[in-house]
Amino acid sequence: MATTSITAPETDPRIQFGRRLVQLRKVRDWSQEQLALESGLARSYLGGVERGQRNIALLNICRLADALNIPASELLIF
C-alpha cells in the first residue's frame, strides 16, 4: 500500500511558489487575468498555482518568468 505524506503549508513548495507568484504579480499591479494573457496560460490554472493546488511544470515557470520580465530563478526565491 502506498503512503502519501502531507506537507505543512509553510514548507510545501507548491504553496511557497504560489505565494511568490502572487507577490510578483501584485508588484506589477496585475490581475490573474492580465498575467494569464501575458503568459498564455489559463486564468483558472494560474489560480490553482497561486493557491498551491497545482504542481507547475518547468516550462510554465519559464513562461511566467518571461511574462513578468524576470529570471525564472526569481520565482523560486521563497
Encode pLDDT of 14-68 as tens digits.
999 999 999 999 999 999 999 999 999 999 999 999 999 999 999 999 999 999 9
pTM of the model: 0.86
Q: Would you tell me how many other CB atoms lie within 10 Å of the CB of residue 28?
A: 14
In our burial notation (b when 16+ CB lie closer than 10 A, e otherwise), range 30-66 reads bebeebbebbebeeebbebbbebebebeeebbebbbe
With 60 as the cut, is the pLDDT of residue 5 above it? no
Say which CATH topology domain 13-76 has. Answer: 434 Repressor (Amino-terminal Domain) (1.10.260)
Q: Determine the pLDDT at residue 2.
A: 53
Mean pLDDT, range 4-19, rounded to an integer: 83
pLDDT at 78: 87
Domain boundaries, the chain: 13-76
- pLDDT, position 4: 56
